[in-house]
Amino acid sequence: MTKNIVVVGSGFAGMWAAISAARAVSLAQQDGEVAITVVSPTPNLTIRPRLYEAELRNMNPDIAHLLMAVGVVHVAGIVETIDSAEKVLQISKTGGGHQSLAYDRLVMAAGSQLFQPDVPGLSEFGFNTDSLASAQALEVHLQGLREKPETVARNTVVIAGGGFTGIEAATEMPIRLRAALGADAMFRVVIVDTSATIGLSMGEQALPYVQEALIEAGIETRTGTRVSSVDAHGVTLSSGERIEADTLVWSAGMRASPIVAQVPGDHDALGRVVGDPFLRAPASDGIFVTGDTVLAATDDQGNFAPMSCQHAMSLGRVAGHNAAAELVGLELHPYSQPKYVTCLDLGEWGALYTEGWNRQVRFTRAESKKIKQEINQIWIYPPAADRDAVFAVANPDFVIVP
């Protein structure tokens, strides 16, 4: 009887998991004996790392042909429940209706979403760059500012959260505000963060470069404080300060998608399942966890994969391969990704490229910006729908690093 692998999610991890599973089945010459299905709202891969940009036209590439080329079926819908005892999913179909789907192996690749705490006014007045829809809403809002009477609040953007995504959103904002308000517009961009020093999370060696970029872009910072409320024209901080601002961009923290809570076993503070070296959810029978849904050791030095596209693409390949390997009798592949790089976009200053977990600075400014553009515009995009070419880069030890 045909066995079923179901992959939940068509992001970086889900797409590569499905392709890698198809490759393993083909390698074992068992095509036709294992069906692979991806469930996600639409057969698209959202390029989340680029959603801080203004131009959002190519941020949601269609992967329907790619999945078809490797023999993977797409079901458009959201997985609502996982019955891990019976190995059955309940799906709410995009466009209406419900469907049950049985699995022999499940690959949970439902990713993550922005954590929005219960701050008064945040859900009503806050913007973010977490999903394509929310990034589009921010861009429409910024473009609409020019229609409003000129006030300090109109020309001020507050970014809540000074981590990687907050810094990228902030350093891009002057470019976006000049496009929206005119080249000579006077504006303020303010990053608010609870930490004592914005940029320190990027490492001590990187810190001076981040600070230089913030200063050059004229970005203000408020540290050791948090946003305590938001309204249509301002943000109040826990320090008591009120910043007049029509725009608040929330960039403070990610959590695993809600469905991940239904995977049995231990979860970390971000909601990720603590995976074993083969990315199995150890307390379940037949469930693999990958991408932003798994807490996985990257090496034997105590480092764990952060929620990142860089890791999701490798985690996806390993989980997909292993899910298929268990069904077709291939050897399982342990996850390992010792090389870690970061490339932080810093707007007009350029970008900052680091290597290693202690983030040694390797390239800065324009040199690094070229790498960032290559990563963002080429490397993380889905490959062309060519089965052999895709299988050639879908093996579980394939890692893309600049």
Instruction: Catalog residues that contact ligand FAD under the rule CB under 6 A.
Output: 8-14, 39-41, 48-49, 51-52, 78-79, 109-112, 129-130, 165, 257, 259, 291-292, 307-310, 312
Give the shortest CB-183-to-ligand FAD separation in angstroms: 26
Three-state secondary-structure class, residue 17: helix
Which residue, 134 or 155, is less far from ligand FAD as judged by CB? 134
Radius of gyration of the chain (CA): 22
Q: What angle do CA 133, 262, 256 make, to 5 degrees?
A: 40
Give the shortest CB-244-to-ligand FAD separation in angstroms: 25
Which residue, 68 or 132, is less far from ligand FAD as judged by CB? 132
| 232 CB burial (10 A radius; 0-12, 13-18, 19+) | exposed
Give the shortest CB-237-to-ligand FAD separation in angstroms: 23
Which residue, 13 or 295, is less far from ligand FAD as judged by CB? 13
8 A C-beta contact, residue 209 and residue 190 = no
Report the alpha-carbon distance of residue 186 to residue 191 in Å, rounded.
17
Which residue, 141 or 233, is less far from ligand FAD as judged by CB? 141
Report the alpha-carbon distance of residue 117 to residue 128 in Å, rounded.
13
Give the shortest CB-4-to-ligand FAD separation in angstroms: 16
Give the shortest CB-101-to-ligand FAD separation in angstroms: 11
Residue entry with tokens 């977490």: 130
Q: What angle do CA 327, 321, 384 make, to 5 degrees?
A: 125
Which residue, 48 or 333, is less far from ligand FAD as judged by CB? 48
Which residue, 25 or 294, is less far from ligand FAD as judged by CB? 294
8 A C-beta contact, residue 342 and residue 357 = no
Give the shortest CB-114-to-ligand FAD separation in angstroms: 7
8 A C-beta contact, residue 319 and residue 36 = no
